[in-house]
Every structure is written in C-alpha cells, then in structure tokens.
Structure 1
Amino acid sequence: MPSLPPETRDWIERNTGAKPDDARLWLAAFTHGSTGETLDYQRLEFLGDRVLGLTIAQWLYEQNGDTEGTLSQRLNALVSRRTCAHVARSVGLPAHIRLGKQANADGGRESDNILGDVTESVIGACFVAQGFDTASAMVRRWWQEAMHGHAGRSKHPKSALQEWAAGNQRRMPEYELVERSGPDHAAHFTVRVTIHNVGDAIGKGDSKQQAETNAAAGFLEQHG
C-alpha cells in the first residue's frame, strides 16, 4: 500500500481537525477509481454525503424561520456538486487527489464531479476518524462563504424558465442532449433548450443536469 504523502498529511491536519493516523482510510478518501487500486473513495463519499446533508440542514434550521420549501431549495444548492467543487478548490483539495494517468491527462483534477465526490469522501473520512462533531465543524468552516452567500436564495434556472414560459403563455421548455463527449470519469455534456416560437440556448456542463441548468440560465439571459 502506498504511503500518505507528507504534504497531504499536513493538509489533513491543517484543514480537517482530524489526525491522519489511519493512512489506509485517508488514502482511500483521496483515491479515484481510475488508479486501478483496490481502495477508492466511493464508500467514504456515500458516508460523507449524509454527514454533509445533515450538517447543512441543521445549520439552515438554526439560521431563521424559513419555510420548508425555502430550506429545501437552499439545502439542494449548498450540497450540490457545483458548490462542493467550489469548496474543494477554496481549500486546496485538488492537489491531493490521486488519479490514474489518463484521468489526470483528461482534466479529472478540475472536474466538478470528481471534486465534489472527493470533498464528500474527505468529510466521510473525518467522520470515521473523529466522529460527527469534528466532521460537522469542518463542514461549517469550509461552507462559511457559501452559507452566507446567495446559493439557493434565488429560483433555480430551470424552475425560473418554466415560470417565465407559463407567465408568457408559451409552451414548456424542451431539453435536448446535443453532445456527450469525453470518458466516463471526465464526461462533458452539451444541451439545447427550446421554447416554441421564442428561441433556444445552449448549455454545457460536467453532467446532463448541469448542462440543462446552464442552458436555462442562458435562455433567460437571451430572451427573459
């Protein structure tokens, strides 16, 4: 089993509040399946996703008296792949991800999907190593900017576009997958959204959902 690099060990101690005594655990947290190694981050990602969701839900509940619908909207935005990837970049996580040679060459280190997954796996590792309180405290530190920003405060572009179409007595938006390129671990999607007799717009992203969201936002900018 490879050893935990000293720079990664230092990063863990500085950023998570946990001691990286279990090298196997932390190596798994940073390892993408493209390495071909036995351990990877998938199980820890599953666990970290739940810790993240509960921490953010509790934090939102403490903030104010928002309705359930508003809380759900903000929660979905704050735990999204896009937000997780932004957080990963802000704490310098990409440099420590362990990728296979091809995945690295394909830009996997900057993929929102991979960054989001590894963020959750590190949360999961912190939970296993130190328990919920430490993992939750880490999430609150990492998510300070996102929590006090505008994530989830405005309508999701796809919902906003549906409301725009209904309000203007137009047909509902239709989404079409134009292109899917790249390998599975670094896929890129191009989607076109069309409203009959109004126009269309193109959106791109690391997932079909993100491409649809970007297409809706682009349509509103052009025609809204």
Structure 2
Amino acid sequence: MADNIETGLSDDTRGWIAKQSGHDIKDETVWLSALTHGSTGEEFDYQRLEFLGDRVLGLTVAEWLYDLTDAAEGKLSQRLNALVSRATCARVAREIGLPDHIRLGKQARTDGGLDSDNILGDVVEAIIGACFIEHGFEAARAMVRRWWGDAVEGRAGQSKHPKSALQEWAAGNRRKMPEYELVERSGPDHALRFTVRVSIKGVGEETGEGDSKQQAETKAAERFLKRHG
C-alpha cells in the first residue's frame, strides 16, 4: 500500500468514531473511506461521502436556524453560509480531534495537509456522510448538533478563529468568500516558512507569514480583519 498506510482502523480511531457517532461501527470500510485522502493512493477516498455529508450538514443547520429565529430569508441564508463554510467545518474538525485520525499520504502530510482547512472541512463532512449511511439521518443530525452547538447558539464568543471570523464577515457583508493563495515557501525542510495572501474580491488583500500554511493563512486573516473588518 502507498506510504505504508495502515490497512484498517486503529483501536483508538474506532473508539473515537463510536464516541462521536454515539453508535458502534457496523461497516468499517465506510469510515475508512471517510477518513482517507486521495494522496494515499487507495482505491477509495472521502469525496463521495463528503458530497453526501455536505447536504446532511446543510439541511440540519438550516432546520436548526429556522426553529431558532424568525429572521428573514436573507439573514438566514447569510448565517447558514457562514456556519457551513469551509473555515467553520475546519474549526469543528480541530475541536473534535479529527486531525489525529485522517489518513494522508506522506507528501500531503509533509505539505501540511493536517493543517489544511480544505482537507479538514471535507473530512468532517465525510464523517457526517458516513454516520448517515451507517446509522441514518437522526444519528447524523444529532452529531451535527453536538459539534455545531457553540457556533449556532453563539457561545463561541470572541475566541473565534480568525479564518472563521473572516468567512462570517464576508458572508454577512454579501461578499465572495475569502481566497487564500500560497505566495512563497522558503527555507530548509526543518524550518520552512510560508507566505500566504488572502483576498476578497472588491474589498482588498493582505498577506501573512508562518511556520505552516495554516499559520500563515491565520495571520493573513487577522490582518485583513484589522484593516477591513
């Protein structure tokens, strides 16, 4: 197998899945797919489950907001877009300890894949999709409500991650979502430095630096919010 990836779920990952879903695993291959990135060279990965989980997440949060507030459709849409954004999904992934269980190829791991909002966001949606397949909509819905509780109920307060805050700022101001671009990668492998540019069409752009792409993106988002937020 490519990059010597383990062929099955570890006991630790099996326990983590059972805790998150509230149910014992019935079909291990579903969860293996949900946690597997294409860089592993496996014949299966998370993409199909991510497609499904994205829809389950959207419906769950839309229903939640509908019940929670009598806001007009426009406001509901803005809030929904922010809550199911890639940045919010990635923040949830970190909060539940998902990076420890993602199956990445060696190069993707070296490139900082476990810090990537795109990968973390996709895999958290794939896990939702896997829960839906294994245990049905109610189980998947309950899991989403546990994971998204702080965000939906507004308990996250001022500790919100800069990238999440920028995503919500863009949605709330009817702007296109932030776009992050790697400008420079420099230094030896043991001391890499990354420079990233974040831009929002029609508003502006800022750059940030860090020891990882994620850190550089965070710094860029912080600067953007300070100047334009």
Q: TM-score per shorter chain, which class?
A: 0.7 to 0.9
Kindly indicate whether residue 124 of structure 2 is the aligned counterpart of residue 119 of structure 1. Answer: yes
CA separation of 1:159/1:20 partners in 2, compared to 1, >3 Å: closer, same or farther?
A: closer
Pairwise mapping of residues 12-51 of structure 1 onto structure 2 (< 5 A)? Answer: 12-51=17-56
In structure 2, list runs of 5 or more residues that go unmatched: 1-5, 186-193
CA separation of 1:7/1:49 partners in 2, compared to 1, >3 Å: closer, same or farther?
A: same
Distance 2:23 2:195 in 1: 35
Distance 1:27 1:177 in 2: 29
Distance 1:154 1:107 in 2: 21
The residue type paired with residue 106 of structure 2 is K
After TM superposition, give the deviation of residue 26 of structure 1 in Å: 0.6
User: What is the aligned partner in structure 2 of residue 220 from structure 1?
Assistant: 228
User: What is the aligned partner in structure 1 of residue 189 from structure 2?
Assistant: none
User: What is the aligned partner in structure 1 of residue 100 from structure 2?
Assistant: 95
Q: Secondary structure of the equivalent of 2:197?
A: strand
In structure 1, list runs of 5 or more residues that go unmatched: 164-174
CA separation of 1:75/1:3 partners in 2, compared to 1, >3 Å: closer, same or farther?
A: same
Distance 1:30 1:158 in 2: 30
User: What is the aligned partner in structure 2 of residue 168 from structure 1?
Assistant: none
Distance 1:130 1:176 in 2: 35
Q: Secondary structure of the equivalent of 1:20?
A: coil
After TM superposition, give the deviation of residue 132 of structure 1 in Å: 0.4
Q: What TM-score do the two structures reach when normalised by structure 2?
A: 0.74
Q: Secondary structure of the equivalent of 1:84?
A: helix
Q: Identify which of 199, 203, 206 aligns with 1:202.
A: 206
Pairwise mapping of residues 1-224 of structure 1 onto structure 2 (< 5 A)? Answer: 2-149=7-154, 156-158=168-170, 180=183, 189-191=196-198, 201-203=205-207, 216-220=224-228
Answer whether contact 1:158 1:217 (CA < 8 A) is retained. no
Answer whether contact 1:193 1:202 (CA < 8 A) is retained. no
| C-alpha distance after superposition, 1:31-90 (max 9, x if no partner) | 000001001000000000000000000000000201111101110010011111111111
After TM superposition, give the deviation of residue 97 of structure 1 in Å: 0.1
The residue type paired with residue 51 of structure 1 is V
Answer whether contact 1:34 1:99 (CA < 8 A) is retained. yes
Q: Secondary structure of the equivalent of 2:24?
A: coil
After TM superposition, give the deviation of residue 153 of structure 1 in Å: 10
The residue type paired with residue 217 of structure 1 is L
After TM superposition, give the deviation of residue 105 of structure 1 in Å: 1.1
Would you say how many aligned residue pairs link Structure 1 and Structure 2?
Answer: 201
CA separation of 1:75/1:159 partners in 2, compared to 1, >3 Å: closer, same or farther?
A: closer
After TM superposition, give the deviation of residue 148 of structure 1 in Å: 1.5
Answer whether contact 1:123 1:139 (CA < 8 A) is retained. yes
Distance 1:40 1:112 in 2: 17
Distance 1:120 1:177 in 2: 21
Q: Secondary structure of the equivalent of 2:79?
A: helix
Q: Secondary structure of the equivalent of 1:202?
A: strand
Q: Secondary structure of the equivalent of 1:14?
A: helix
User: What is the aligned partner in structure 1 of residue 3 from structure 2?
Assistant: none
Answer whether contact 1:29 1:125 (CA < 8 A) is retained. yes
Q: What TM-score do the two structures reach when normalised by structure 1?
A: 0.75
Output the aligned Cα RMSD.
3.7
Answer whether contact 2:82 2:167 (CA < 8 A) is retained. no
The residue type paired with residue 197 of structure 2 is T
Which consecutive segments of 4 or more residues in structure 1 shift more than 3 A? 150-163, 175-182, 191-196, 203-206, 210-216
Question: Percent of counterpart pairs with the same letter?
Answer: 49
| C-alpha distance after superposition, 1:171-212 (max 9, x if no partner) | xxxx99875567xxxx9851467989xxx6514687xxx999
Distance 1:154 1:93 in 2: 23
After TM superposition, give the deviation of residue 217 of structure 1 in Å: 2.5
